[in-house]
Chain A
Amino acid sequence: MEKLQCTCGHINPPGTILCESCGRSLTKEEQNKKLVDMRYEGTARRSQTYNKSIIDKIWNFFSSVKVGVGIIVVLLVAAAIGTILPQAQYVNVPVRNEATIKAYYADVYGEIGKLYHFLGFHDLYGSIWFIVLVGMLAISLIVASLDRFVPLYRSLKNQRVLRHKSFMNKQRIYAEGAAPEDTLQKAEQKLKELKYNVTLDKNGLLAEKGRFSRWGPYVNHIGLIIFLFGVMLRMIPGFYVDETLWIREGETRAIPEAPGYFLESEKFTFETYTGEGEEEKFGEAIERVGSVAKNYQTDVVLYQTPEQSLPGATDEMERVKEEGIQVNQPLKFDGYAVYQMDFKLNELRAMTFDLTNKASDESLGTFTVDLVKPEKSYDLGNGAKVDLLGYYPDFSGFENGEPKTATPVPNNPGFLVRMFTPETPEGEVSFIVIQNTIEPLGENQYKLTFQGAETRNVSGLTIRKDKTLPILGLGGLIFMIGVAQGMYFNHRRFWIQQQDNGVVLLAGHTNKNWFGLKKDLDQVSEFASLPPYTDQQEEIEKLEKLKKEQRMEGDEVS
């Protein structure tokens, strides 16, 4: 493509529609139009001009609005497909791995589920192609904005005051006619009053207001790019922490990924609405659904060890603060946040047993085993005592005669004991699990009977630290500013020229809200006695409507 020389002598970049200097239409097509296309000030959108190397072709591809909208639509459809069946992260399987998840989709959703999993839709939003799509959207945002912003900025920056008549009379708002001598000065005065920036050149005037609104689209795109950049950073290890901590009442635990910080759970509370007193009004609703949760709360104490202290050494811990962690009220410290996410109620914490004579049912006393701190021996007095030989919190059977535990959690506690009484000074060995007793060394005279238990609750907490939040927030803020800037403000311009014969030419343009522009112009016209203007767009429409009606009447007649 060649550069275009306008009749005014200015040389324009290839692809330009309206001369950058005087505003004459440069293409045949444009010359035949009744109104000029002002969308990008008639500048050459950069991508349209060159189409040579492969890089240029890729660039042009991403610069197109059509492609941009295409990417948006593909993303939209993809996102919708991801909601047809639940995503893998929301699927409930006892053991989480590829195989169980695959099996889950096949079992629960049948053939459709199999296909869904086969196509990778169970992890659609984390899939490579989805990330590539979002990436393409980002490229489109950047390329399309650069391509339009740069020439628009240049052309608005280098605006000439004096434009050719053919530019002026193809503006939507146009006036031509006689006016008094001082009309330019008066117009200038009034326009300044209306907060327009006025530039004068010889016998012409350019008044402009709200140019910044033209940058709105680019500002909001910058916001989106910043947001996407933040999202990208989150994928880099170290930018955010997401850990789970199960903590029992009374326990003190190191907070994962937060070196030097410890958390003690004092109490976990689970409340439901009672429907009484203050809550009486909710009675009907509670009755319908059974029960409604009111509060999940873990009362914690946060500790910190001194700077120089090492993992494992907890004696120098200092209390930082006490807080009740609730849903919607995470514990915050040092950039971290600890959330109430889950709980388990009534885990065994202590068990009480009674040592009794099998024959006479006579009790020799009771003792309580603290499952957190079992002791070697429990003295019941009167010569009776029970020695604990082994404790198996989650008894799962014997292996080579040795009791085994499946987990460290007291789901099914087993105790190997030796019971001493005055009658049996040698001691009798017994193995006790809930509702079962084994006497491995022969029939005993004494037994332990389960009396009662104390329980405690377990809180499921999530620890988060997200360094990208400020970036994401900034992106969102800039996006909103850009949207407001572009949508709620508008760029208004008037060109006025007084020709040698006293005739005044006037043209007006705005990117939106013509009503507001006309209101401004009415004030100026009145004050400066400008010739009456016409809205050429309306004229064209009226004409078309008239033609159409005539045609319709013609139809009816025939």
Chain B
Amino acid sequence: MTEQNTKKTNKKRNRAIMRSAILSLLVLAIGYTIYNSVTADDVEVLKVGDQAPDFALQDMEGVPHKLSDYQGEGVFLNFWGTWCAPCVKEMPAMDRQFKEFEEQGVNVLAVNIAQSDFEVQSFVDRLGLSFPVAIDKSKSVMTAYNIRPLPTTVLVNPEGEIQRIVTGEMTEEDIRGFMEEIRPQ
């Protein structure tokens, strides 16, 4: 009789475990689905801490720039366009800070989004920018970095990882702080 009882309790327990397992699995699946649907909009392809995707662009002078060539140095990667007012506004500040940090291993590369050579060149000339400016003609770098709003600045540290992603206008103070962040020690 006792043996039968233990068998019975065992069976009951197994059944409870089985049912709890199936139900909780299903509830988890539903919960995960809801989580995904709620966060669907702000899924970013690139995150801070990721390896920055390598790319190769030629600047206005025809000098090739490859991100991986700057291993061991900081890269201040600014995506911009002439129509974007905040982009235009932060350019002079970037230029000033670039001149200060240039010797300390911080590079600035301003990537224009598929405008004409003329527009970009005349803009560079007008502002007298000293850092290299390149045009992403096919928008492939922009796509690789999943850039949506302009300006977006991606800070790459000497290890080649993304240190920070900044969307929107930066003050000179900000720019200085960011360059400090990616300056090699």
> Which A positions have Cβ atoms within 8 angstroms of B?
50, 53, 55-56, 58-59, 126, 128, 131-132, 135, 138-139, 142-143, 146, 232, 235-237, 252-257, 259, 262, 309-314, 371-376, 388-391, 393-394, 404-408
Contact = CB atoms under 8 A, between A and B. Distances in A.
B36 interface: yes
Contact of A135 (B26, B43, B54, B114): B26
Nearest to B121: A376
Given A254-B138, A405-B83, A53 B16 contact: yes
Give chain B's interface secondary structure class: helix
B143 to A, nearest CB: 5
Given A132-B30, A235-B33, A374-B119, A58 B138 contact: no
Contacts of B56: 309-313
B82 to A, nearest CB: 6
B34 A132 contact: yes
A323 to B, nearest CB: 19
Given A310-B56, A311-B53, A312-B141, A408 B33 contact: no
9 contacts: A135-B26, A135-B29, A143-B22, A146-B22, A235-B36, A311-B56, A373-B118, A393-B83, A394-B83
B139 interface: yes
B55 A142 contact: no
A56 B19 CA distance: 8
B19 A389 contact: no
B116 A131 contact: no
Given A138-B26, A252-B137, 7 more contacts: A128-B37, A128-B38, A138-B29, A252-B138, A311-B143, A313-B56, A405-B82
A77 B24 CA distance: 28
Contacts of B118: 373-376, 388, 391
Nearest to B140: A254
A314 B23 contact: no
Contacts of B114: 408
A59 B19 contact: yes
A151 to B, nearest CB: 13
Contacts of B37: 126, 128, 131, 235
Contact of B23 (A55, A253, A259, A389): A55
Contacts of B115: 408
Interface in B91-140: 113-119, 122, 134, 136-140
Nearest to A258: B143
A54 to B, nearest CB: 10
B32 to A, nearest CB: 8
A135 B36 contact: no
Given A135-B30, A232-B29, A312 B136 contact: yes
Contacts of B43: 237
A391 B141 contact: no
B83 A235 contact: no
Contacts of B29: 135, 138, 232
A343 B170 CA distance: 36
A56 B56 CA distance: 62
Interface residues of B, number: 47
B1 interface: no
A253 B138 contact: yes
A257 B143 contact: yes
A403 to B, nearest CB: 11
A427 to B, nearest CB: 16
B26 A139 contact: yes
Contacts of A388: 118
B23 A139 contact: yes
Nearest to B126: A390
B81 interface: yes
Contact of A262 (B30, B32, B136, B138): B138
B144 interface: yes
Nearest to B43: A237
A50 B15 contact: yes
Contacts of B15: 50
Contacts of B36: 235-237
Contacts of B137: 252, 314
Please provide the 9 A-B residue pairs with the shortest distance between their CB atoms, ordered closest to farther. A254-B140, A135-B30, A235-B36, A374-B118, A312-B57, A311-B144, A313-B56, A311-B55, A311-B140
Contacts of B30: 131-132, 135, 138-139
B71 interface: no
B40 A235 contact: yes
A138 B25 CA distance: 12
A131 B83 contact: no
B113 A262 contact: no
Interface in B145-179: none
A32 B83 CA distance: 87
B10 interface: no
B60 interface: no
A312 B55 contact: yes
Contacts of A143: 22-23
Contacts of B16: 53, 55-56
Given A131-B34, A131-B37, A235-B40, A408 B83 contact: yes
A142 B26 contact: yes
B20 interface: yes
Nearest to B113: A408
A389 B136 contact: no
A232 B33 contact: yes
B106 to A, nearest CB: 21
Nearest to B134: A312
Contacts of A375: 118
Contacts of A135: 26, 29-30, 33
A278 to B, nearest CB: 41
A314 B33 contact: no
